[in-house]
Amino acid sequence: MRIAVLGQGAWGRTLASVLRQQGHELAVWSRSHGSDPAAVLQQQDLVLSAVAMAGVPALAQQLRVSWPGAVPLVSCSKGIDLQQHCTASQLWQQAIPSLACLVLSGPNLAAELDQGLPAASVLASIHTELASELQRQLSSQRLRLYTNADPIGTELAGALKNVMAVAAGICDGLGLGANAKASLLTRGLAEMGRLSQLLGGDPATLYGLAGLGDLLATANSPLSRNYRFGLHLAEGDSAAAAFTRIGATVEGPATAEAALVLAHRHALHLPICEQVVGLLQRRNTPQEAVRALMERDLRREWV
């Protein structure tokens, strides 16, 4: 296939490498190139967008009038937009209503794929035949693809697990132990599910590659920027200092803030997201956040 990859951060470069090794013909674009992204879209069979979430709204609007006909888009960005409170694919489809859009998400730490280690991911779309065709075209020995018909649940799981990865980094940074971390991730998964289901996601998606799979990888690996960000917060760094130390995009903090806006709009309580945002805004300390979670009112597990 002829494939354009928009975005050349760690994930975009990795995807381009995997696809190139499969024999696909690649055209790549990055904002740092200073070139017109519309130029790389011409004569393509498929476009993959792996730009950081903050860059999606402007890029989608920029390409709105120059999108090449019926060429589908695979959105690989993870997060929730802070201004419009939408996922990446929703932003693309708002800009280009006729666009056939798919979502790629899963436990895909770029550094491991770069080393040739195997991984799996999910390709989600309401266009099920297109998803099945791209599954056959894009799967490889390095990256095995599954499909589902729940793009919104897939995207929300991939976005919200970054918030839980920040919380997991804080937990490990404070040395709270395996019991505490297992409890945190389990309650985090429930929190992710409440918001996802409210916004139209399929609960089953949460227990697949884009949900539990991605959460396990991101919340346990020092390769995860969100996890490392949480470690730095536990050490006493401000959010600004933690961003500086990592020196690359970290989607979890902005996602936590956007998730809280959506939760408040629907009278939904997300205690872990609330504590993460409190830390980011320096309204509490890591130790106070743990105490607040442990002192919450007692309740049934599935509430």
Catalytic residues: 161
Edge-to-edge strand list for the sheet holding 101-105: 25-29, 2-6, 46-49, 73-75, 101-105, 119-124, 143-148
* Ramachandran angles phi, psi of 239, nearest 5°: -60, -40
252's enclosing H/E stretch is helix 252-265
Cβ pair 130, 72 in contact under 8 A: yes
Q: How far apart are CA 10 and CA 108, in angstroms?
A: 11
Contacts of 191 (CB under 8 A, 6+ apart): 160, 164, 270, 271, 272, 273
Cβ pair 217, 107 in contact under 8 A: yes
